[in-house]
Amino acid sequence: MIVVFDTNIWKTNLYLKSPASAAVKFFLVHHGAKVGLPEVVRLEVERHLRADIYEFRDQIMLGHRQLLGLFGRIQELVLPTDNEIEALVTSIFFQSGFDLQEVPFSQESARDSFLRTVDKIPPSHKSQQFKDGVIWKDCKTLADAEEVVLVTADRAFYEGGETKKGLAKMLMEEARQCQYELRVLPGLADLLSELRRPIVVDDVVFENAVSVFLQRHVDEILERTQFSLASPLRFKKSLFVTQYPGSLYVEFVAEAYCEDATGEGRMNSVLQITADGLYLLNGKTMSNVQIRELVITYTGPDGRSDETKSVFGSVNIVMGHRIVTNEVREPLDVSE
């Protein structure tokens, strides 16, 4: 399958760096799908991206100057340079993580689109939408080799200009002449609903990998509180797509019943561990496991509820401006 994202989809979804985009990317990778990139889309996206970044930077600089005027003295502002902006623009596609299939601008596509503007037929029936005609011709070309899904919010592609009515009838007739199916969807949510499927995580592999990281901390709190485990750990996990299609962020809770090793009559004791980490899909291993909280709750001999808790955290000491990294955490369906 080849998915073609129109310029409006790139632009309205943070140039496919939004959380929803990460989920789409994850499932595209796991479906083995490619992303078609017509040259007209690439050129338009690059220009929009460049203009948007410069506008963002100008707005921030203006706000900083106003704050400086009000406070008289604030920290210096560090923003991307012109060279850094150009480097991002030129690499936006090839660092996207998609398996790209570029479609060069061709005389055939240009001629086909021009005739559409002359004949006033979709997607150029209301205005001279030359680029839309080129995209449609490129999609038909791709659909002679593989199934194609065009994701676009441009109403010119839809019957009566309404996305809910689906592809314009004339375009639908043209699509039927392709060797493979050619469909149009209005947004990422629609594409994701088709691509999304349960991801099976091997519970035994996951639990064994996590237990290696937990064992020392579990032993320490059991020794300190003088409890012993009376049952195996039971795990409940939530999975999230990250900016990296090969890994999932995992939040999990592990619980086990405990017994009082002192004989003092402490009852109803439960060990609970809250933690998170990264699950690497290819190697089926865990990394960056971090325990957030470890607690044993119990009922004392006097009938009162009590608990012993260990809270974990980390501190990073930074000199000067701290570098902030964008992290994507998009909930993912998982088969139980």
- pLDDT, residue 173, reads 95
Distance CA 87, CA 84 (A): 5
- Of the residues 147, 168, 195, which one is the last residue of a structural domain? 195
Residue 227: exposure state from Cβ atoms within 10 A (0-12, 13-18, ≥19): buried
- Of the residues 141, 162, 195, which one is the last residue of a structural domain? 195
H or E, element range at 229: strand 227-229
Q: Which residues contact 172 (CB under 8 A, 6 or more apart)?
A: 166
- Residue 234: give the domain boundaries: 203-332
Whether 183 and 234 share a structural domain: no
Whether 57 and 88 share a structural domain: yes
- Which residue positions in the chain have pLDDT lower than 70? 124-128, 312-322, 333-336
- pLDDT, residue 127, reads 61
Whether 281 and 160 share a structural domain: no
pLDDT digits (tens, 9 = 90+) for 29-72: 888 899 999 999 999 999 999 999 999 999 999 999 999 999 99
DSSP summary character for residue 147: -
- Of the residues 143, 173, 195, which one is the last residue of a structural domain? 195
Distance CA 135, CA 151 (A): 11
Whether 94 and 151 share a structural domain: yes
Whether 59 and 129 share a structural domain: yes
CA dist list (Å): 34 to 75, 97, 98, 322? 45, 10, 7, 36
Whether 214 and 188 share a structural domain: no
Whether 175 and 253 share a structural domain: no
pTM over the 0.85 mark: no
- pLDDT, residue 336, reads 41
**In which residue are the tokens 């933690």 written?**
275
Enter the tokens of residue 264.
């003092």
- pLDDT, residue 335, reads 45
Whether 234 and 155 share a structural domain: no
Q: How many domains does the chain have?
A: 2
Q: Which of 240, 231, 302, 315 is nearest to 267 (CA)?
A: 302
